């Protein structure tokens, strides 16, 4: 069996990480090729020992060229844009559409949701990474018979290997990790961080990520007078040691799917304080293995308690790791993905 994974982005983010986990899991068992526009992702795919195919740009013509060169048995398209383009290029080859995020503009009738609705008949199967990705879709009824909800997983041993490759030590108490985009709402994270640092003098905050809001985030940090309390790490190929050495991961997302960063943090024993969005709600039990709230002041209190109460931090760290180990069952994940492949 040969599977062609098609993605629209040229750099590493959540969906790209999921694809690499799938390719790792089936190494030596299923022939898989990663296809997307060329960019930083090509090096990451090669580092993981997989085949990368440069499609130039995401278009029907370029995808058809990739199909002709690779001759896949199945095309596994990731997220909306890639799925729509693949649906027009695949011909008789079965297409699996993998939805990684509960996009706000897919919850109502928009050009994006309508375009996907028009292509649903072309998908042999649809994978959603959380119940909300399926349930909140404006045309959920149209995909009900095709959907399999399969939560993301992370390979713990890969994280440990990546940490061993990083010689740095990071002195950061709490951390924002993700794209600096409207979806992740890093400006809200800066507001929360400013209140935490006010209440816990000497606390340090890290921001790891790049994006369109970089300048706005930098200005917000300067306006809040956070100065030396905040460190900008930019985009990191290997953020796992930083994540493991932080006491808390702070998330302020407006919407998500099932974020890989949350799974990674929990596996590393780093409690997550987050807005209660989508798949995050499915894996975090508020006050037990992490903290959830829509209210900034509650989020501030949660971070402060974790930074100042050693026993509380230790207990929540333990619960986060135990629950993440239960969730991240690679064997069960492989079985579910294989079932989808075999069904089409």
Tell me the per-residue pLDDT of 144-174, one tens digit each, with 9 for 90 and over: 999 999 999 999 999 999 999 999 999 899 9
Tell me the per-residue pLDDT of 64-84, one tens digit each, with 9 for 90 and over: 999 999 999 999 999 999 999
Q: 127: helix, coil or strand?
A: strand
Percentage of the chain lying above the pLDDT 90 cut: 94
- Examine the pLDDT at 202 and tell me if it is beyond 90: yes
Tell me the per-residue pLDDT of 44-60, one tens digit each, with 9 for 90 and over: 999 999 999 999 999 99
Distance CA 288, CA 272 (A): 11
Distance CA 148, CA 142 (A): 14
| Per-residue confidence (pLDDT) for residue 342, from 0 to 100 | 97
| Per-residue confidence (pLDDT) for residue 150, from 0 to 100 | 96
Q: pTM of the full predicted structure? A: 0.91
Q: Could you tell me whether strands 2-6 and 31-36 are parallel, antiparallel, or unpaired per DSSP bridges?
A: parallel
| Per-residue confidence (pLDDT) for residue 237, from 0 to 100 | 86
DSSP character string of 31-89: EEEEEE-SSHHHHHHHHTT-EEEE-SSSSHHHHHHHHHHH--SEEEEEHHHHHHHHHHH
- β-pair partners for 3: 32, 74
All structural domains of the chain, each given as residue ranges with its CATH number in brackets, are: 2-153+329-343 (3.40.50.2000), 156-327 (3.40.50.2000)
Cα–Cα distances in angstroms (integers) from residue 292 to residues 26, 89, 182, 276, in the given order: 34, 42, 19, 5
Tell me the per-residue pLDDT of 272-310, one tens digit each, with 9 for 90 and over: 999 999 889 989 999 999 999 999 999 999 999 999 999
| Closest-CA residue to 170 (of 126, 201, 200, 204) | 204
Q: Could you give the count of Cα atoms lying within 13 Å of 26 in the half-sphere of its Cβ?
A: 22
Distance CA 83, CA 78 (A): 6
Map tokens 């190494």 to a residue.
Answer: 27
Q: In what order do the strands lie in the sheet with 74-78?
A: 51-54, 31-36, 2-6, 74-78, 95-99, 123-128, 147-149
């Amino acid at each position: 069996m040969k599977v062609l994974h098609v993605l629209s982005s040229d750099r590493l983010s959540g969906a790209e990480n999921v694809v690499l986990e799938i390719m790792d899991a089936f190494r030596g068992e299923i022939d898989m090729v990663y296809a997307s526009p060329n960019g930083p992702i090509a090096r990451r795919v090669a580092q993981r020992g997989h085949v990368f195919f440069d499609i130039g740009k995401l278009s029907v013509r370029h995808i058809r060229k990739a199909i002709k060169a690779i001759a896949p048995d199945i095309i596994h398209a990731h997220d909306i844009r890639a799925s729509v383009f693949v649906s027009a290029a695949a011909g008789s080859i079965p297409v699996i559409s993998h939805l990684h995020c509960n996009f706000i503009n897919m919850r109502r009738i928009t050009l994006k949701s309508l375009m996907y609705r028009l292509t649903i008949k072309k998908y042999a199967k649809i994978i959603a990474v959380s119940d909300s990705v399926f349930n909140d879709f404006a045309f959920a009824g149209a995909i009900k018979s095709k959907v399999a909800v399969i939560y993301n997983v992370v390979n713990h041993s890969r994280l440990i290997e990546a940490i061993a490759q990083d010689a740095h030590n990071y002195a950061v108490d709490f951390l924002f990790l993700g794209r600096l985009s409207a979806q992740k709402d890093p400006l809200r994270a800066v507001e929360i961080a400013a209140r935490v640092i006010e209440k816990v003098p000497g606390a340090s905050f890290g921001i790891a990520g790049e994006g369109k809001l970089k300048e706005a985030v930098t200005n917000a940090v300067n306006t809040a007078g956070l100065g030396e309390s905040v460190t900008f790490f930019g985009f990191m190929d290997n953020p796992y040691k930083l994540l493991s050495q932080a006491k808390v991961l702070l998330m302020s997302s407006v919407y998500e799917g099932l974020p890989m960063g949350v799974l990674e943090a929990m596996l590393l024993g780093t409690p997550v304080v987050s807005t209660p969005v989508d798949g995050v709600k499915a894996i975090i039990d508020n006050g037990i293995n992490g903290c959830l709230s829509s209210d900034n002041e509650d989020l501030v209190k949660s971070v402060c308690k974790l930074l100042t109460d050693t026993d509380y931090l230790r207990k929540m760290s333990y619960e986060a790791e135990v629950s993440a180990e239960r969730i991240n069952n690679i064997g069960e994940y492989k079985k579910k993905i294989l079932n989808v492949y075999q069904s089409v």
